[in-house]
Amino acid sequence: MTTGATERTHPRERLLDTAERLFYTQGIQAVGVEQLVTEAGVTRATFYRHFSSKDGLVDAYLEARGARVEDAVAVILDAHRGRDALLAIMDMIGDNLCRPGFRGCGFLNAAAEYPDPTHRVRVRIAEHRRWFHDVLHAVVRDAGHPDPERVARALVILRDGAMVGGYLDDARTIRTTLREAAENLLTP
């Protein structure tokens, strides 16, 4: 069964599109290479020409997911600074929680499936989390908070909890709570 992935012509992109859909909806470990190649409409040889292993595809999937987040945050930072930027980032996260088919954070989901912190997938996740922390730190500093490090750490934890809560609870309530908590953290 193919769902749009074969409409794109480049096999690597079809594999990434298929991985995005299957890994997010079914879980990384639950999806085998055979299912990936079948649904992407490529051969095993094509798969291994583009990715050294399934873990190589997982790494590329997370890299692409991270790039989309970084691009969205860059758009926000081009338009806003300080407090407004932080609240816009929190709104972006909140909007994500409310989209149809939301199943939590792809990075947190992947981390749960790869317990070894030295595995390349976990290293990719750690890099993304460090980037997000650094963005929050800069935004909170620009907002004039006297302790941007403490607030940035708290905001990362808040975001993680919102991602889980958005999947398990009422996403609209979590979205509102996320924004309110971020506003409260900005008050020294």
Q: How do residues 146-164 score in pLDDT, each as one tens digit? A: 999 999 999 999 999 999 9
Among the listed residues 99, 98, 79, the one whose alpha carbon sits nearest the alpha carbon of residue 89: 79
Three-class SS state of 105: coil
The CATH number of the structural domain formed by 1-51 is: 1.10.10.60
Mean pLDDT, all residues of the chain? 94
Q: What CATH number does domain 54-186 carry, 1.10.357.10, 3.40.50.720, 1.10.150.120, 3.40.50.150? A: 1.10.357.10
Alpha carbons within 13 angstroms on the beta-carbon side of residue 100 total: 0
How much is the CA Rg of the chain, to the nearest whole Å? 18
What is the C-alpha to C-alpha distance for residues 125 and 134, in angstroms, rounded to an integer? 14
Helix boundaries (H) for the chain: 11-26, 33-40, 44-50, 54-79, 82-97, 106-113, 120-142, 148-168, 171-186
Regarding pTM above 0.85, the answer is yes
Q: Is 104 left (phi over 0), alpha (psi -120 to 50) or beta?
A: left
Q: Residue 147, SS3?
A: coil
| In the chain, where the domains are located | 1-51, 54-186
Residue 90 to residue 162: CA distance in whole angstroms = 10
**Model confidence band, residue 45 (pLDDT cutoffs 50, 70, 90):** very high
Report the pLDDT value the prediction gives residue 188, as an integer from 0 to 100: 81
What separation, in Å, do the N-terminal and C-terminal C-alpha atoms of the chain show? 54
Chain-centre distance for alpha carbon 186: 24
CB 86 within 8 A of CB 182: yes
pLDDT of residue 7: 52
pLDDT at 1 (0 to 100): 43
Structure tokens given for 143: 């907002």
